[in-house]
């Protein structure tokens, strides 16, 4: 898939909470095809302590309006600087990067934890375009840490799990009863302990499973080999051979 | 005129890419016309496949980054069989960075490269800070540098570039040793040995504790070393270290570099190489300079 570098304009900025915001970015002309699960490398300007671009997954795509959106969690210097951007500002993106979700399966379960739910919205939209209504399970320590809730409803059956019980079932996502329904594919993105637990479960039950990994990156295009994941097939670049991996190739990783 | 010569190698302009930052060139083909570059130095290649160091391998630092990739690569045989056929027809000089843990390994890889018609030069990496055995060990003493370069010279008859480490007391002594042993050119600097600590976790950021510092932060050190080395040796010097603009490239050229390499800046702007080539041409126009070689080493 051809990659591009373009300046987008921030068409809309929505603050979800003190930790999360969404940037809707408008392409200067016709937005090229972007697959669910792919990510962009965003240039961060105006902070001398930030040297590299930041990898951020594509939250949603609007083909008609030539926009793509990013759901960003403020976690460090780079994302704090990005949080100061305003509507109308310009943002340089290298995109679309990495291998996305397969969007396969007739009865999939999409599991997202915290900011890891970001790429699942576009994935749910793509499933719905194929005539599949997925189950979506969103989790967080508390309800406040689940940045978006209603946006999935047009495409998916939505379930929640929180550790404090403030929304949906009390407990970890992997303890949620939705796992008892029969799914032919699980797609997961979230904190590593959650994804490891989901990958182990799927591998034990022999359910097809894709997990989207996160690592700090430099180039984002498979040139520097900094962002490797320890897969059963050796070190693989999360930016190029991922971020979406088949859980069957992560048996060793998911046990640690 | 932007053409420069590194020994028998003719470069259409002085801008090359640094090993380990440009993959095999293919990764950047969507962003730039690779054929416009003076040359590309592809990923460090060793005698056999290497998995490299565990994650985390990267730490962002002020105006730079640390890496501890540890020469992850497919190995020389897989390179010759699978990668070389894909990249041999680029319309630019494709140069392979060769690394190893022993003199025999360096020689074995160099010999295999000698047989590849479309690889006109190798860059001998005696300066990688991220491997336990070999690498920088060969580049920190003039005697060791001389031994490995001499041995490779015997089996390699095309253009031999030797990449030097800045992690030494006198880089001039190492450069002179490489020249005496038969190097056709030296490139400098490889990364500076550095370290970063995550104070929240109270642990080093990198799995290997220490790693190699690159990016804008190292540029003044690199310019100084290029200036010192180019005064001391008769072979062409290739300068690298933090170059991210035409002005940066011109600093190195004026300090004595015949050609330059762009590394970490490729991560921030994948089109930076072309911008630097165009920027050098623009500078020459503005200043009425006909030949880039006329401003080399004017400092």
What pLDDT does B132 receive? Answer: 65
Backbone CA torsion sign across B8, B10, B15, B17: negative
Do A66 and A118 belong together in one domain? no
Chain A interface residues (partner B, CB cutoff 8 A): 2-5, 43, 48-53, 94, 215-230, 234-235, 240
Q: Is B220 on the interface with A (CB under 8 A)?
A: no
Q: How many domains does chain A have?
A: 2
Global confidence as pTM: 0.96
User: Annotated catalytic, B128?
Assistant: yes
Which chain A residues touch B262 with a CB distance below 8 Å?
Answer: none
Rg (CA), chain B: 18
Q: Under an 8 A CB cutoff, do B31 and A3 touch? A: yes
Mean pLDDT of A134-148: 94
ipTM, two decimals, is: 0.94
Question: Could you give all domains of chain B from N- to C-terminal order, each with its CATH number?
Answer: 4-55+71-192+215-295 (3.20.20.70)
Contact list in B for residue A94 (CB cut-off 8 A) is: 31, 270
Chain B contact probe: residue of A43, A76, A95, A235 with most B CBs at under 10 A = A235
Please tell me if residue B156 touches chain A, with a CB cutoff of 8 Å: no
Q: Could you list the residue range(s) of the whole structural domain that residue A146 is in?
A: 108-255
Domain end call among A74, A97, A120: A97
Of A78, A97, A116, the residue that ends a domain is A97
Minimum-distance CB partner of B58 among A50, A216, A229? A216
**pLDDT at residue number B135:** 65
Check A235 against B72: CB less than 8 A apart. Answer: yes
From first to last of its 299 residues, what are the pLDDT tens digits of chain B? 999 999 999 999 999 999 999 999 999 999 999 999 999 999 999 999 999 999 999 999 999 999 999 999 999 999 999 999 999 999 999 999 999 999 999 999 999 999 999 999 999 999 877 776 666 789 999 999 999 999 999 999 999 999 999 999 999 999 999 999 999 999 999 999 999 999 999 999 999 999 999 999 999 999 999 999 999 999 999 999 999 999 999 999 999 999 999 999 999 999 999 999 999 999 999 999 999 999 999 99
Instruction: Give chain A's length.
Output: 256
Note the pLDDT of residue B38. 98
Please list, in sequence order, all residues whose beta carbon lies within 8 angstroms of the beta carbon of residue A244, skipping any fewer than 6 positions away: A37, A98, A99, A100, A101, A102, A210, A211, A212, A213
Contact B61 A51 (CB under 8 A): yes
Mark whether A121 and A171 lie in a shared domain.
yes
Is there a single domain that holds both residue A92 and residue A117?
Answer: no
> What's A213's domain CATH number?
3.40.50.80
SS3 content of chain A, % helix, strand, coil (to 5): 20, 35, 45
Residue B267 φ/ψ, nearest 5 degrees:
-75, -30
Integer angstrom CA distances of residue A174 from A69, A195, A200, B179: 28, 9, 11, 63
Percent of chain A with pLDDT over 90: 97
> Can you give the CATH number for the domain in which A67 is found?
2.40.30.10
B67 vs A49, A222, A224: nearest CB: A224
Per-residue pLDDT band at A256 (split at 50, 70, 90): confident
B229-254 pLDDT per residue, tens: 999 999 999 999 999 999 999 999 99
Q: Do A225 and B52 touch (CB under 8 A)?
A: yes
- Catalytic residue, chosen from B80, B128, B152, B213, is B128
Asked whether residue A142 falls in the same domain as residue A87, the answer is: no
Same domain, A23 and A139: no
Structural contact between residues A123 and A212, judged by C-beta atoms closer than 8 angstroms:
no
Which of B60, B207, B271, B275 to mutate: most A Cβ within 10 Å? B60
Closest-CA distance, B14 to chain A, in angstroms, reads 22
In a domain, A103, yes or no: no
Rounded to the nearest integer, the mean pLDDT of chain A is: 96
Q: Are B160 and B153 in contact (CB under 8 A)?
A: yes
pLDDT of A157 above 80: yes
Residue B60 touches chain A, beta carbons under 8 Å: yes
DSSP code of residue A85: -
Would you say A155 and A124 are in contact if contact means Cβ atoms under 8 Å apart? yes
Say if A52 falls within a structural domain: yes
Does one domain contain both A178 and A241?
yes
Question: Region A128-139: what's the mean pLDDT?
Answer: 97
What pLDDT, on a 0 to 100 scale, did the predictor assign at position B136?
A: 73
Helix (H) or strand (E) holding B77: helix B76-78
A92 and A116 both lie in a single domain: no
B264 has a chain A CB within 8 A of its CB: yes
Q: Are residues A71 and A141 in the same domain?
A: no
Does A102 fall in a domain? no
Examine residue A225 and state whether it is found in any structural domain, yes or no: yes
User: Among residues B48, B41, B43, B53, which one has the least CA distance to residue B207?
Assistant: B53
Per-residue pLDDT tens digits for A73-126: 999 999 999 999 999 999 999 999 999 999 999 999 999 999 999 999 999 999
Give the pLDDT of residue B134: 62
- Name every chain B residue with its beta carbon within 8 A of the beta carbon of A230: 54-55
Closest residue to A228, CB basis, from B55, B264, B271: B55
CB B227 within 8 A of CB B299: yes
Among B282, B276, B271, which Cα is nearest to B260's? B276
């Amino acid at each position: 898939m051809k990659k591009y570098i373009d300046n987008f304009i921030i068409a809309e900025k929505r603050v979800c909470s003190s930790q999360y915001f969404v940037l809707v970015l408008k392409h200067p002309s016709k937005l090229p095809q972007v697959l669910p699960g792919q990510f962009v490398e965003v240039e961060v300007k105006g902070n001398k302590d930030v040297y590299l671009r930041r990898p951020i997954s594509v939250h949603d795509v609007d083909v008609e309006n030539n926009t793509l959106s990013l759901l960003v969690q403020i976690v460090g210097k780079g994302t704090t600087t990005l949080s100061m951007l305003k509507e109308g500002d310009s943002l340089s993106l290298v995109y679309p990067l990495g291998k996305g979700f397969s969007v396969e399966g007739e009865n999939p379960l999409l599991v997202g934890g915290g900011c890891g739910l970001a790429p699942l919205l576009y994935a749910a939209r793509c499933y719905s375009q194929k005539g599949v209504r997925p189950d979506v399970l969103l989790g967080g320590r508390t309800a406040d840490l689940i940045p978006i809730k209603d946006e999935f409803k047009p495409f998916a059956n939505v379930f929640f799990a929180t550790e404090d019980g403030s929304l949906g079932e009390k407990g970890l996502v992997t303890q949620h009863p939705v796992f008892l329904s029969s799914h032919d594919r699980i797609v997961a993105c979230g904190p590593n302990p959650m994804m490891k637990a989901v990958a182990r479960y799927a591998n034990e039950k022999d359910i097809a499973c894709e997990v989207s990994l996160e690592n700090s990156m430099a180039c984002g295009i498979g040139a520097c080999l900094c962002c490797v994941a320890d897969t059963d097939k050796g070190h693989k670049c999360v930016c190029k051979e991922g971020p979406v991996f088949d859980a069957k190739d992560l048996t060793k990783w998911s046990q640690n | 005129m932007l053409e420069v010569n590194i020994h028998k190698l003719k470069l259409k302009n002085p801008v090359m890419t640094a090993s380990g930052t440009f993959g095999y060139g293919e990764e950047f083909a969507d962003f730039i016309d690779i054929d416009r570059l003076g040359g590309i130095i592809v990923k460090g290649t060793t005698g056999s496949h290497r998995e490299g160091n565990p994650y985390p391998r990267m730490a962002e630092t002020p105006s730079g980054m640390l890496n501890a990739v540890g020469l992850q690569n497919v190995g020389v045989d897989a390179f010759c069989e699978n990668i070389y056929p894909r990249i041999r027809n680029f319309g630019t000089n494709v140069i392979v960075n060769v690394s190893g843990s022993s003199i025999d390994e360096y020689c074995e890889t160099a010999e295999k490269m000698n047989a590849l018609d479309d690889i006109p030069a190798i860059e001998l990496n005696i300066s990688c800070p991220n491997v336990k055995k070999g690498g920088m060990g060969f580049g920190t003493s003039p005697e060791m540098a001389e031994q490995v370069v001499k041995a490779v010279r015997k089996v390699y008859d095309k253009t031999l570039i030797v990449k030097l480490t800045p992690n030494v007391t006198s880089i001039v002594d190492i450069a002179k040793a490489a020249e005496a042993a038969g190097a056709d050119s030296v490139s400098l600097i490889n990364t500076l040995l550095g370290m970063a600590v995550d104070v929240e976790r109270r642990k080093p950021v990198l799995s290997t504790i220490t790693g190699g510092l690159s990016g804008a932060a190292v540029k003044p050190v690199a310019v100084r070393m290029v200036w010192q080395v180019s005064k001391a040796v008769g072979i062409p010097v290739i300068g690298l270290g933090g170059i991210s603009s035409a002005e940066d490239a011109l600093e190195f050229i004026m300090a004595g570099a015949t050609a330059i390499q762009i590394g970490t800046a490729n991560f921030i702007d994948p089109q930076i190489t072309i911008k630097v080539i165009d920027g050098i041409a623009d500078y020459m126009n503005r200043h009425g300079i006909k030949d880039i070689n006329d401003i080399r080493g004017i400092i």
